[in-house]
Each structure stands twice: as C-alpha cells, then as structure tokens.
Amino acid sequence: MAKPLLDRVLVVDVEATCWDGPAPDGMVSEIIEIGLCELEVATGQRSGRRSLMVEPERSTVSPFCTGLTTITPEQAADGIGFAEACEILRDEYGAGHRVWASWGEYDRAQFTRQCTATDTRYPFGTRHLNVKNLYSLMNSLDRELGMAGALQHAGLPLEGTHHRGVDDAWNIAGLLSGLLGR
C-alpha cells in the first residue's frame, strides 16, 4: 500500500438528487455535483476549487432540488458520468492516498452507496476526516452544527451559494484551516 500523502487535505462536498419527500418510484438519490477544494496543511491556504457536475443515471433533478442547490436538470445532464468523476478524483487528486474531509458522514456514505450500486471503484482511501465532529469537539460544543451555523459560530462569512458543492467545499476548507491553525 502506498504511503499516505499528508501535505494537503482534499475537502469534498457532494450535492445529490433530492425531493420534497420520498424519492419517486424507481429513483434513488445520486450525486450530481462533487465540489472540491484542496487545503495545504502547512499554510492553511485553500486552492484547487473545482466543481465536477455528474449526470444522474437513475433519477432526475427535481424542482425542489434545483431550489435547494441551484443545479438545473440541464446542468446535471451536461455532466460527466459518475465513474469518470471517481477516476478524476483518483488520478488528478490522488484521492486514494490523501486524507479527505467532508462535513459529516453524508458524503462518505453517499459515495459508498453509489459506488456499490454502480459497481464503480471507490475513489478514496480509508483516511476520512469528519470536520463536523472535529469542529464540535475543538469548540467544546454540546451539539453538532450545520456548516452555515459553524461559519457563523466561527465568525466567518458564507462564501458563495450554500448547497452548491464547490462553494460548500471551499467553506468547509476554511473552517478546517482554522481548526488546524490552532
């Protein structure tokens, strides 16, 4: 097994198809955007802000989902395949050898579910950092906050559009930078 790369953390936030209620018959929640931001551990600098739009194969982007994420059915339909997105994570970001981070467990669980369902090679290694847990512990909070609440708690602005993967990854990386800088 390759030695882990600890110079940068790959911060990931996904957006997935969703509905105001249960999924319609025959549909499942699928990733439609993978937001990425690299965080240099030594300096706390964020870079590499990127959005990978992913075309859903077993669902559609609902009006509720567009209202939440701003992602339209047309934008998602112009995306790349999920397997190709996972390949980009592995090949361009070294995701299998890096610590990767997300806000909570949703993103990790969604990748696991979707990789299993589509027989796609999981792009990450075993080094997942749950920034939501870490933020709560480092700030001695009695409950976990959502990302927007944590930004407010930290006195940081929400940059971009909440529930857009690329912007949420950037904001999560900013929170993690503050935690690592202590």
CA–CA gap between residue 85 and residue 44 (Å, rounded):
26
Tokens encoding 149: 């609440």
Map out the domains of the chain as residue ranges.
5-180
pLDDT band for 1, please (50, 70, 90 cuts): low
Report pLDDT digits (tens) over 19-54: 999 999 999 999 999 999 999 999 999 998 999 999
CATH 1.10.10.10 fits 5-180, yes or no: no
CA distances from 23 to 15, 57, 61, 69, 132 (A): 15, 14, 11, 17, 26
**Residues of the chain above pLDDT 90, percent:** 95
pLDDT in tens, 49-96: 999 999 999 999 999 999 999 999 999 999 999 999 999 999 999 999
Distance CA 81, CA 78 (A): 10
The pLDDT assigned to 3 comes to 67
Kindly report the three-state secondary structure assignment for every residue of the chain: CCCCEEEEEEEEEEEECCCCCCCCCCCCCCEEEEEEEEEECCCCCEEEEEEEEECCCCCCCCHHHHHHHCCCHHHHHCCECHHHHHHHHHHHHCCCCEEEEECCCHHHHHHHHHHHHHCCCCCCCCCEEEHHHHHHHHCCCCCCCCHHHHHHHHCCCCCCCCCCHHHHHHHHHHHHHHHHCC
